[in-house]
Every structure is written in structure tokens, then in C-alpha cells.
Amino acid sequence: MATVHETLPCRVLSGPGARHDVPGELERLGARRVLVVATGSARAAADELAGALGGRLAARFDRPAVHTPVHVTAEALEVARGAGADVVVAIGGGSAVGLSKALAARTGMPQVVVPTTYAGSEVTPVLGETDNGVKTTRRDPALAPGTVVYDPELTLSMPPGLTRTSALNALAHAVEALWAPDATAATDALATEAATVVLDALPHVLADPAGLPARSRLQQAAWLAGLCLAQTRTGLHHQLTHVLGGAYGLPHAELHAMLLAHVMAFNLPFAPAAADRLSKVTGGDPVAAVAALARGYEGPTTLGALGVPRDGLPGIAERVVAAPYPNPRPLDPAELTALLEAAW
């Protein structure tokens, strides 16, 4: 069987100050009534955009929530329809981007997204939505934003904890792409570069959070990692974050950060090509390199500290084994419980 590589049409603008080009991009799209979606953390950028749009601003919505709850989308949809919006601009992390995708899915509105974290959702055709605590995920090229604006100045406000966990979230996209069954020469190249730059730039950013050059490099790596996520199927690592996150309502990026080294230790002996690339990237033991970065987090670094009950772990393992995502290492409930115990 041939491998398939499919790229999505997307116009990407990047560079310090790129956010100031958003009005021009909206002009290109022929937008007349703009809905601006932004979390509190992006209020200043949203205010700035609203000022630049003048009469073209149709409405603002400032309450996107993590995991895209459908009741929040319904509220935002009412605002969009009431204001006659014809384009949505989202400024924020994966939560704001998720709401933008959910609105586009329901209205067909074009999207311009301005990410402020390293989650990568802005370049994927994937949307996860929650309804009554149950998260369902769908994939459709129509969900992928048509315009993405990477302005590293908007990442300067990320606190150190979010910087670290969000960067490890990006690294996880790259690592899983390296052992994905549908990896291609293109995703291998993207993933290797993304991992190299995340691992190199993150310590610089943590040492000097206001340093724009390292922030820019980290954001560019997150873009490449997002492209990996868009193009390959995810494995055990993303499955664990989905199942644990859904079961216990856990924070997205923190969960990625604490699990990644454990899943790498579990999978890499069964993924020699990925292990080889990551050993070259880290110049040593990739598991130790990622574990050291995860350990430096000042928030919870274990599943136990996040509030996951230890006696819930075998049930999580059973659920994962019952319907596994594609993974290089075959899954066995006892071995998987041992992995979760180690993360606990």
C-alpha cells in the first residue's frame, strides 16, 4: 500500500507584530461583519483588533472554554447569528481555536486564528467537543482554519508553567508522528525539526521568558508539530491524554507534559526509527531529556498529584486496550497499568 500525504490549504503569516496584518487578511476575505473570539488572556490583542476593525466589528465573545463544551458554542453561535457575523477571528490557546472551529462547523464562516500557545490546533482539521462530560472528536478538512497568524509577541505573556507544559504538548505531537503508522518522509522531517527546536529553544525561553528570538523559534516549532498532528494518526500518548482527561476533567497541557516521557520509555524500544531520530536530536537518552523538562514544572508532575485515584488506573488501561489508537507497541492491560502506576 502506498503512503498518503495530504496537505490542507492554509495561509500562514508569521513574525513579530504579525497580528497587525489581521485587518488586511479580513479585507482579502471580503469580511464585512467580524466576530472576535478571545479568552481573557488575549484581551489586549482583542481590544487592539477591535479598534482597528472599527465598524467591521460585529461582536465579541470572551468565554471560550477548554474542551469546547457544546453549551458554550451554542451561546457564541447566538452572538454570531444575532450580529450577522460573516467571519470569525480567534485569539488565544487551543480553547479559543476550538470554539472558532466549532462555530465554523455550524455556520461555514471562514476562520482567521491567532494562536497564543503551542497547542497546534490552529493547523489541524480536528475538533474535540464535550457534551455532558463526554468528549467526541471529529476530523474534517472543512474544520481547519484557512488563515493562521503566528505573532510571537503574543506568547511573551505565557507564564513559565504554561510555556513548559504547552511546549511539551507540541513535542508530543512530533514524537507521536515519528512512530505513527502513516508517517511519511514529510512528517518525519517536520517532526524531527519540531523536536529539535522545542528541545533547544524551551530552556532558553524558560531562562529568559521575554527573549523574543527564542520565543519565535519555539512558536515556529509548535507550528511544525501542529502540522504533524494534522497529518498523522496519534497513538498511545494522545489516547491516554484523551481517556484520562475525559474521565477526570484534567488540564490538557499538564497531562501531556507529565505522560510523555513515560510513553516514550514504553514505546521507543518498539519504534527503532523514532528512537534513532530522537537519540540524535537529544544527543543521548531522549526519555531522560524529556523527563528532566517535565520534572522542572512547578505544578503537579504526577497523576496522583493531579487527583487521579490510584485504583482507577486498571480501568483506564482496560478502556485503552479495548479500542487502542494505532501504537508501535502492542498493548496489554497489565503493562499499561504499570506505565500508569509509574506516572502516578
The residues that touch ligand NAD, with contacts defined as CB under 6 A, are 39-41, 66-67, 92-96, 98, 116-117, 119-121, 124, 126-128, 154-155, 157-158, 162, 166, 169, 229, 252-253
- Smallest distance from the beta carbon of 156 to ligand NAD, in angstroms? 7
| Closer residue to ligand NAD, CB minimum distance, 34 or 229 | 229
- Report the alpha-carbon distance of residue 150 to residue 140 in Å, rounded: 23
For the chain, report the end-to-end CA distance as a whole number of angstroms: 40
**Grid cell 531529556 in the structure block, residue:** 289
| Closer residue to ligand NAD, CB minimum distance, 46 or 162 | 162
| Closer residue to ligand NAD, CB minimum distance, 31 or 171 | 171
- Smallest distance from the beta carbon of 244 to ligand NAD, in angstroms? 13
- Smallest distance from the beta carbon of 122 to ligand NAD, in angstroms? 8
In Å, the largest CA–CA distance within the chain is: 61
For 196-206, give one letter per residue: b (16+ CB within 10 A) or e: bbbbebbeebb
CA distances from 278 to 1, 58, 59, 175, 257 (A): 27, 47, 46, 8, 17
Which residues is 112 bridged to in the sheet? 89, 147
Residue 120, classified by CB atoms within 10 Å of its CB into exposed (0-12), middle (13-18) or buried (19+), is buried
- Report the alpha-carbon distance of residue 100 to residue 95 in Å, rounded: 9
| Closer residue to ligand NAD, CB minimum distance, 121 or 192 | 121
- Smallest distance from the beta carbon of 124 to ligand NAD, in angstroms? 3
Which residue is nearest to ligand NAD, using beta carbons? 94
Strand residue runs (E) in the chain = 11-14, 34-38, 57-61, 87-92, 111-115, 126-131, 134-139, 147-150
- Smallest distance from the beta carbon of 225 to ligand NAD, in angstroms? 10
CA distances from 304 to 76, 265, 300, 340 (A): 35, 19, 8, 10
| Closer residue to ligand NAD, CB minimum distance, 8 or 338 | 8
| Closer residue to ligand NAD, CB minimum distance, 110 or 120 | 120
| Closer residue to ligand NAD, CB minimum distance, 107 or 157 | 157
- Cβ–Cβ under 8 Å, residues 172 and 120: no
- Smallest distance from the beta carbon of 121 to ligand NAD, in angstroms? 3
- Smallest distance from the beta carbon of 39 to ligand NAD, in angstroms? 4
